[in-house]
Amino acid sequence: MKLSILGVKFSFSNWYEFVWIYKDVFILKEYAFTPKSNHPYILDCGAHIGVSTLFFKSSYPHSRVISFEPDKRNFALLKQNITQNNVQHVETVQAVLLDKDGVTEFYVQKNPSGRSWGNSIDAQNLNERVYEKIKVPATKLSSYIDQPVDLIKLDIEGAELKVLHEIEHKLHLVHTIILELHTTHQNRIELYAELSELLKKHSFVHEIQEIGPIMGKRIHPEDMHKATSKYYIIRATKKVKPV
């Protein structure tokens, strides 16, 4: 399927998924941020079919973006969306982000055009009738942090903390992180506490927002124990300029 909206061309395989993502990214501007330079360096981790990448390039036209996506079907659409919009200075990497290089198991939807969607690095609680296991390349994000980074966007289906720990020795170079935190009702408090401690350790201040059908409510960090969602957007910004 193809669609052009305000001059931006999109190719996608799942209408319901596209509408949801477009709303969050282009209308609610989930990944908008204030760059520290006119040529921001952005790491789009979990780029999917490229909606977020196209948002970054339309909002920050002089940016350099590296987009990571492991699923070969989504990766093909990511490259197609970049090409058909004549986007420059975008590098694409077909790989899962983990704490080591190599090959790993990844679980993808058997029917990517259905009303449900989402891939995962974790097989826990996945319906084997809906998902299939494949092998995909894995790489370390730290290999791509060799200069100040204006934004790391993380939507990597539960591997957020593993990747943040892997790049911890380079967080002094990072100014803003916007991540989707995937939890369960059992580990929500534990995962958030670990994330909060890591961010504070490296001089980030952050805000929390539940992911909801329209616009999730903001949550004070001290009230996380009262939250009921399994998914949250965390926006973290460095208190001081990275060196």
Give a three-class secondary structure readout of 82-125: HHHCCCCCEEEECCEEECCCEEEEEEEECCCCCCCCCCECCCCC
pLDDT at 171 (0 to 100) = 97
Q: At the fourth CATH level, which superfamily is domain 2-97+141-238?
A: Vaccinia Virus protein VP39 (3.40.50.150)
pLDDT at 196 (0 to 100) = 95
* Residue spans per domain, the chain: 2-97+141-238
pLDDT at 105 (0 to 100) = 82
Can you list the positions of beta strands (E) in 15-76? 41-45, 64-68
Q: Please give the chain's pLDDT, 243 residues, in tens.
A: 999 999 999 999 989 889 989 999 999 999 999 998 899 999 999 999 999 999 999 999 999 999 999 988 899 999 999 999 999 999 999 999 999 999 988 877 666 665 555 666 665 555 566 677 778 999 999 999 999 999 999 998 788 999 999 999 999 999 999 999 988 778 888 999 999 999 999 999 999 998 866 556 788 878 887 787 888 999 999 986 545
What DSSP state is assigned to residue 64?
E
CB-CB contact of 69 with 178 (8 Å)? no
